């Protein structure tokens, strides 16, 4: 088991389900992603680069796409969430719509691929 699996195994309830949803979608989009760490967080890695981390904090859940530019492209759609250039805060009750989550993760995959395929 990798660090993402271990991290999720230590969570419970609706928070765990919400975090697992993020990881499930990421695995669907990047089936060869491996588990590891990025910036000290349990993360899925695409081609060895941080793709996404989904973690619980005391008062929110967080999505971390390890990019300072990807989320800005979705600013209008993220208006109902607390977000910065590197993370989106959400809750089990107020999750990112799956279609938006897929597009954010797809943009991060494309960003990694473009950087590595130069």
- Which tokens go with 51? 């793709």
Q: Is 74 helix (H, G, I), strand (E, B) or coil?
A: helix
Q: What is the pLDDT of residues 64-105, one digit of tens each?
A: 999 999 999 999 999 999 999 999 999 999 999 999 999 999
pLDDT higher than 70, residue 1: no
**Percent helix, strand and coil across the chain, each to the nearest 5:** 40, 25, 35
Q: pLDDT of 39-64, one tens digit each?
A: 999 999 999 999 999 999 999 999 99
For residues 76 and 72, give the distance between their C-alpha atoms in angstroms, rounded to a whole number. Answer: 9
Is domain 3-116 classified as CATH 3.40.50.1100? no
In this prediction, residue 66 carries a pLDDT of 97
């Amino acid at each position: 088991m990798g660090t993402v699996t271990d991290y999720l195994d230590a969570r419970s309830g609706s928070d765990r389900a919400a975090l697992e949803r993020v990881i499930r979608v990421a695995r669907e989009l990047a089936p060869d992603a491996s588990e590891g760490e990025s910036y000290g967080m349990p993360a899925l890695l695409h081609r060895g680069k941080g793709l996404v981390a989904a973690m619980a904090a005391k008062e929110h859940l967080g999505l971390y796409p390890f990019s300072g530019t990807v989320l800005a492209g979705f600013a209008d759609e993220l208006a109902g969430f607390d977000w910065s250039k590197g993370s989106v805060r959400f809750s089990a009750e107020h999750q990112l719509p799956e279609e938006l989550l897929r597009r954010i993760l797809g943009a991060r995959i494309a960003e990694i691929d473009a950087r590595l395929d130069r």
